[in-house]
Amino acid sequence: MQTLPLIQHLINGKLVAGGSRSQDVFNPATGQAEKQLLLADKATVEQAIACAQAAYPAWRATPPLKRARVMSKLKNLLEDNAEAICALVTAEHGKVLSDSMGELQRGIENVEYASYAPELLKGEHSKNVGPSMDSWSEFQALGVTAGITPFNFPVMVPLWMWPMAVTCGNTFVLKPSERDPSSALLVAQLALQAGLPPGVLNVVHGDKEAVDTLLADKRVQAISFVGSTPIAEYIYATGCANGKRVQALGGAKNHAVVMPDADVPNAVSALMGAAYGSCGERCMAIPLVVAVGDATADAVVAGLKVEIAKMKVGPGIDAGNDMGPLVTQAHFDKVKGFVDQGVAEGATLVVDGRGVKVLGHEAGYFLGACLFDHVKPGMKIYQEEIFGPVLGVMRVKTLQEAMSLIDAHEYGNGTCIFTRDGEAARYFSDNILVGMVGVNVPLPVPVAYHSFGGWKRSLFGDLSAYGPDAVRFYTKRKTITQRWPSAGVREGAVFSFPTNR
């Protein structure tokens, strides 16, 4: 039997084994196991935490500008190695190469933003807050921090987390998704090459055992999580109960409202990418269109049908393809099950992608684009996150009706409105109960110098991911008040509360 290449942990700057369990990593385009991943046990994760703890004092004392220079070098290395990184993403996740490149570029922009950390960490200063008295607030590192990331952005989401964490002076333990772990590992190795000292960033692969060890260990001060809502809620509750700072980003079900005055052909083009890009495996994907008026709905459905017929489904490494496979057989079965359920629930399946076969890749996890019309709020395909190439169209009479639907949904990650009416767009973005809103922008994913976060059950915690919120998440405010009274002046005791009166 052929032995598969083994993916190891990166602890204290070295690739190491650890844990007696392992699992296969598949290429979703072929359905073949191509690598074996070691799953860290408690002792391995504790070893990574110990190394991060040991590296912390010297790294915290390193001037922020020197820490930031590592990020500038890393940015160059990521650009130089983009092809190799994206080949790993496509081989393990399945998304088309151009999409892997887009994901990496967004990740690089987070590294670039982290390289401004000296500016972001400057603090606040006030002179003469009292007689001969000055006061300032500074933002100090927390210590060992950790990140747990999902499969769908294997290279970008880790880059939302650790570059800013370490540039703020923390050390880090990353636990990437066990389904597509190689790109995050390669990026961590490039960070070492860029000059990050051993132990500042450690990567442990694993599952619940690894995550639970991070959650329980007293040395871990803060945890960033991105993944599904049930796990996000568990991470938030357990991490907080163990005294940690936690931000846990969860699932989504993003609605796009199409108004009667919208530019429908352009809206249709935008919806195609937002619904079927990355096979719908994006937390900012659009799986629902809420069309205002039957004429709008008819035009959108007709337009989508035409565009879907032109889509090319196949392996992500072939540049001609628009959409690759789903990530695993289990996820394929789940998504297909949702399509079966939508039919059983009475939605109209306008385009059925269940029969798609890709020649030469019969064992790959390919599902063609699916389009439902007449989706209703009571249906499971409306309520639950499908995370696949399945778009549902709903029909409402007014913008208010569309907004009531969106506000009542358990998730509040992203939404968008297609319209030419500025007043409607302003009313929508002002009042909708969702964290990230697009106006004629289908995927309103904030740029690296804004922060990313949903509302309702799409985010547990107070601070969003990356951008300015990340600086606050990975630091503690300390406020120092300092006085230098004139030498030789004798001062009596004061028993009243000090004021400036």
What are the residues binding ligand NAD (CB under 6 A)? Answer: 148-153, 157, 175, 177-178, 207-208, 211, 226-228, 231, 249-252, 283, 385, 387, 413, 454, 458
Q: Which is nearer to ligand NAD, 221 or 464 (CB)?
A: 464
Q: Which is nearer to ligand NAD, 181 or 199 (CB)?
A: 181
Tokens of 159: 């880059």
Burial class (CB in 10 A: 0-12, 13-18, 19+), 453: buried
Burial class (CB in 10 A: 0-12, 13-18, 19+), 179: buried
Q: Is 283 a catalytic residue?
A: yes
Tokens of 362: 């019969």
Q: Which is nearer to ligand NAD, 47 or 247 (CB)?
A: 247
Q: Which is nearer to ligand NAD, 239 or 368 (CB)?
A: 239
Q: How far apart are CA 290 and CA 236, in angstroms?
A: 32
Task: Note whether 320 and 413 are within 8 A (CB).
Answer: no
DSSP output for 144-162: EEEEE--SSSTTHHHHHHH
HEC assignment per residue over 218-287: CCEEEEEEECCHHHHHHHHHHHHHCCCEEEEECCCCCEEEECCCCCHHHHHHHHHHHHHHHHHCCCCCCC
The size of the chain, in residues, is: 501
106: three-class secondary structure by DSSP: helix
What is the nearest approach in angstroms of ligand NAD to the Cβ of residue 32? Answer: 21
Tokens of 210: 């690894």
Task: Note whether 453 and 249 are within 8 A (CB).
Answer: yes
Q: How far apart are CA 18 and CA 123, in angstroms?
A: 41
What is the nearest approach in angstroms of ligand NAD to the Cβ of residue 234? Answer: 6
Contacts of residue 105, Cβ cutoff 8 Å, sequence gap at least 6: none
Amino acid letter, residue 309? A
Task: Note whether 232 and 148 are within 8 A (CB).
Answer: no
Q: Which residue is nearest to ligand NAD (CB)?
A: 227
Q: Which is nearer to ligand NAD, 208 or 420 (CB)?
A: 208
- Annotated catalytic residue within 168, 283, 370, 416: 283
- Residue 201, CA distances (Å) to 82, 207, 352 in order: 20, 19, 45
Sign of CA pseudo-dihedral 147, 153, 154, 155? negative
Q: Which residues belong to the active site? A: 283
